[in-house]
Structure 1
Amino acid sequence: MITSHDVAKLAGVSQPTVSRALRDVPGVSMQTRSRVRDAARALGYVPSQAGRSLSTRTTGRIGIVSDQLANPFYPALVDPLHQRLAECGYRTILVVDHGQDEVAIETLVDGSLDGVILTTSELSSELPLELSRRGMPSVLVNRLVKGSTVDECTADDAHGAGLVADLFVGLGHRRIAAIFGPQTTSTGRAGAEGFRSRLQAKNVDLPESMVRTGPFTTEHGAHALATLLNCSERPTAIFCANDVVAMGALNTAVTLGLRVPEDLSIVGFDDIPMASWARLNLTTVHAGIDELARTAADMILARIKHPESPQRSHVEPVRLVLRGTHAPPPSHTPPLIA
């Protein structure tokens, strides 16, 4: 049976160097890494995860609880998480949260993972508490949980929503509407509170008839805008809870014959890669998804190494990204295509 010692002999390096090179641990030169991989390939050597687990009492795997990757926000978050963890020698295991019921705790504490990154938690989730109680290192990223004591990192959602309110009011909009996310999530609630608060500070009303609340989906955005456009006084500007919701709203606007932004301004949140596509050119709030991912990865690795250290909390700054879907209000109410 071929072992790492055989690879080390052929590559002309030590056995620990073989282990570090094959796990992409920083500190091994590209030349050495290439030589080790060539030797392993020539000998048909495959590293044994079981052997590593026995010798280090770790699995080298981090679980990421994510929504389905059909939602484009999650690939934008999961990919940099995966990259950062790989740089540090860890593999990632994706655990999909289908939304009907919370992910079973048994899936995460069966001994196959060294830590867990939670990206989909609702405010009332008991998962972080259960993971802590069972000694499993975990980090909340994107969404927070009430009363949680685990490490957490999120964007400054309330401030970002306030920036959109400032933009709309500064452009002269007064008939402003909002398509908010679910109020069972910290992101949905903070965005709604931040937007309402900033409008109120500027003496601009946001009546309930101009508000729609629902999931972070294109379907919600599309349906919500269709109902808002049926209001007696149609809105001239729409704040969407995230870019995915905004994409649905944009599609409805185009379907009904409205020009964006000449007839209707639509602004999203997150700045996922698709938002910058020329076809969308979406004005949005940059939430620093890459930065959040790298921070969360570093947090989980630090927690694994120092399980008793104090709780860490990080709020990622946000900024407005002005693209092509905002403008002053139209001088008249444009007709809709029947």
Structure 2
Amino acid sequence: MVVTSRDVARLAGVSQPTVSRALRDDARVSEDTKKRVREAAQLLGYVPSEAGRALSSGRTRRIGLLVTDLDNQFYSHIIAPVHRELERLGYQLMLHTETADNETVAERLAANGLDGVLLATATVDSIAPLRLRDRGMPFVYFNRIGSLVGADAAVVDPAAGYQDAVDRIAELGHTRVGAVLGPANTSTAQMREAALRAALTARGLVLAESCVRRAPYGAIEGEAAAAELLAGDEPPTVLFCGNDVVAYGALNAARRAGLSVPGDVSIIGFDDLPEASWPIVDLTTIGYDITGMARAAADLIVRRIEHPDAERSEITFASSFVPRSTVAAPRPR
């Protein structure tokens, strides 16, 4: 015999609508009633129907996470905390990959019957947020933000981390500074470059354009860009990289060129991914609460779905310098 919500209601001594609200963790239901309903559901082996929920509420309780690709280690470390937080809130995570931000993104996301979307791939000139807004699809910027449409966001402030990192390399005596920055049309690259240049200026250091390369946030691209900088007549003695994945590529470039790290060149990443702390990597980097940011983004999209008229919210996470073995004083030349 199939157990229904009405069976749960009879056992718990409540109405059938109260069962539905209690199992959705609705704030209008008391904690005592929620407990009775959950115990009754567990005793009867009742499993709520997602299709029934969607019909009764007009929602699928599915939220999309849009990423560029699954090969980038950054995304692999945010999926799990987003999934856990959404599951705790009664929603399912639907992963979507996108190789380019174009006009069809919003249409394809809408076709999947999502209640909302976390955008982790937005460029500053992206039109996807415009299309989502026009379709009435709630969305939240995650890590990156767009400039064409304002929305809730969970982001990182790189200023403190770069200030401490620059203080450290200045104290060690570095004067030839290089950088492999991210794509110029991403808010992360723009904010990190601005914070880095401000910190360098405060210490009387300069980041010359000849010592800058801009590349996608990938290890292969990072290696190619770093190789160009390290092959120059006056190569930098320290390289700031747009993220840890780019820094992994820079480490490879140094190794291929027969250079020692940190003897010939110091390398600094950004994100403090778990692999950065592995003894074989031991990357000096700039970190922040990446798990907390993932949870915050999940909370924001659920809040936007359930309270569409709520004030816009931007949650900003502070950054900090994480010293490890890839930074040391420059060798005398």
Q: For the superposition of Structure 1 and Structure 2, which TM-score range results when normalised by the shorter chain?
A: 0.7 to 0.9
1:4 is matched by which residue type in structure 2?
Answer: T
1:269 aligns with 2:270: yes
Give the structure 2 partner of residue 213 of structure 1: 214
Q: Contact 2:275 / 2:281 at 8 angstroms: preserved in 1?
A: yes
Task: After TM superposition, give the deviation of residue 312 of structure 1 in Å.
Answer: 1.1
**Is the contact made by 2:241 and 2:268 (CA closer than 8 Å) also made in structure 1?**
yes
| Matched position secondary structure for 1:234 | coil
Query: 1:237 offset after TM fit, Å?
Result: 0.6
- 1:16–1:273 Cα change, 3 Å: farther
Instruction: Specify the alignment match of 1:335 in structure 2.
Output: none
Contact 2:8 2:40 in 1 (8 A): no
Equivalent residue number for residue 301 of structure 2: 300
Deviation at 1:54, TM superposition (A): 0.9
Establish whether residue 177 from structure 1 lines up as the match of residue 158 from structure 2. no
User: What's the CA shift string for 1:81-102, capped at 9, x where partnerless?
Assistant: 1111111111011111112646
In 2, the alpha carbon distance for the partners of 1:187 and 1:302 equals 24
Contact 2:102–2:127, Cα closer than 8 Å, also in 1: no
Deviates more, 1:18-27 or 1:127-136: 18-27
Q: Determine the structure 1 residue equivalent to 2:241.
A: 240
Q: How many Å apart are 1:47 and its aligned residue?
A: 4.2
Please, which runs of 5 or more residues in structure 1 have no aligned partner?
333-338
Q: Between Structure 1 and Structure 2, how many residues are aligned?
A: 328
Q: Distance in 1 between matches of 2:175 and 2:304?
A: 47
Task: Sort the Cα spacing of 1:31 and 1:306 in 2 relative to 1 into closer, same or farther, 3 A.
Answer: closer
Distance (Å, rounded) in 2 between the aligned partners of 1:243 and 1:35: 49
Helix, strand or coil for the counterpart of 2:79?
Answer: helix
Partner of 2:259: 258
1:280 aligns with 2:286: no
Deviation sequence 1:271-310 (CA, Å, 0-9, x none): 1111111111111111321111111111111111211122
**Which sections of structure 2, spanning at least 5 residues, go unmatched?**
none
CA 1:39 to 1:180, structure 2 compared with 1: closer, same or farther past 3 Å? same
Cα offset, 1:323, TM superposition: 1.5
1:80-229 paired onto structure 2 within 5 Å: 80-99=81-100, 101=102, 104-110=105-111, 112-229=113-230
TM-score by length of 2: 0.87
AA matched with 1:121: A
Question: C-alpha displacement at 1:139, in angstroms?
Answer: 0.7
Shift of 1:10: 12
Match of 2:78, SS state, is: helix
Given the superposition, is the C-alpha separation of residues 20 and 284 from structure 1 closer, same or farther in structure 2, using an over 3 Å criterion? farther
1:215 alignment partner AA: P
Cα distance in 1, alignment partners of residues 43 and 251 from structure 2:
50
3-state SS of the aligned residue for 1:109? helix
Distance 1:9 1:308, change over 3 A: closer
C-alpha change, 1:31 and 1:175, in structure 2 (3 Å) is: farther
Report the equivalent of 1:231: 232
- Using the TM superposition, give the Cα deviation of residue 320 of structure 1 relative to its aligned residue in structure 2, in angstroms: 0.8
Cα deviation, residue 23, structure 1: 7.3
* Residue 54 (structure 2) pairs with residue 48 (structure 1): no
Return the letter of the residue paired with 2:201: Q
SS in 2 for 1:258: coil
CA contact (8 A) 1:21 1:36 kept: no
1:278 and 1:139, CA in 2 relative to 1: closer, same or farther beyond 3 A? same
Query: If the length of structure 1 is used for normalisation, what is the TM-score?
Result: 0.86
- Which amino acid letter does the alignment assign opposite residue 98 of structure 1? T
> C-alpha displacement at 1:156, in angstroms?
0.5
**Pair 237,264 (structure 1): closer, same or farther in 2 beyond 3 Å:** same
What is the deviation of 1:161?
3.4
Q: Say if 2:101 and 2:126, in contact at 8 Å, map to a contact too.
A: no
Is residue 322 of structure 2 the alignment partner of residue 321 of structure 1?
A: yes
* Secondary structure at the counterpart of residue 139 of structure 1: strand
Change (3 A) 1:36 1:89: same
Q: In the TM superposition, what is the alpha-carbon distance from 1:20 to its structure 2 partner?
A: 7.9
C-alpha offsets along residues 93-144 of structure 1, whole Å, 9 cap, x if unaligned? 1111112646521122237111111111000112223222322211101001
Corresponding residue for 1:291? Answer: 292
Shift of residue 159, structure 1, vs aligned partner? 4.3
CA–CA distance in structure 2, aligned partners of residues 95 and 158 of structure 1: 31
Q: Which amino acid aligns with 1:242?
A: N
Shift, 1:70, TM fit: 1.1
The alpha-carbon deviation at position 21 of structure 1 amounts to 9.2
- Whether the aligned pair in 2 keeps the contact of 1:157 and 1:191 (CA below 8 Å) is yes
Q: Is the 8 A contact 1:284 1:320 kept in 2?
A: yes
Check 1:201–1:109 CA distance in 2 against 1; reply closer, same or farther (3 A cut).
same
Contact 1:160–1:285 (CA<8 Å) still a contact in 2?
yes
CA contact (8 A) 2:230 2:254 kept: no
- CA distances 1:193-218 after superposition (whole Å, capped 9, x unpaired): 22122212322122222111110000
Q: Larger deviation: 74-83 or 15-24?
A: 15-24
Q: Percent identity?
A: 41
In structure 1, how many angstroms separate the alpha carbons of the residues matched to 2:60 and 2:23? Answer: 15
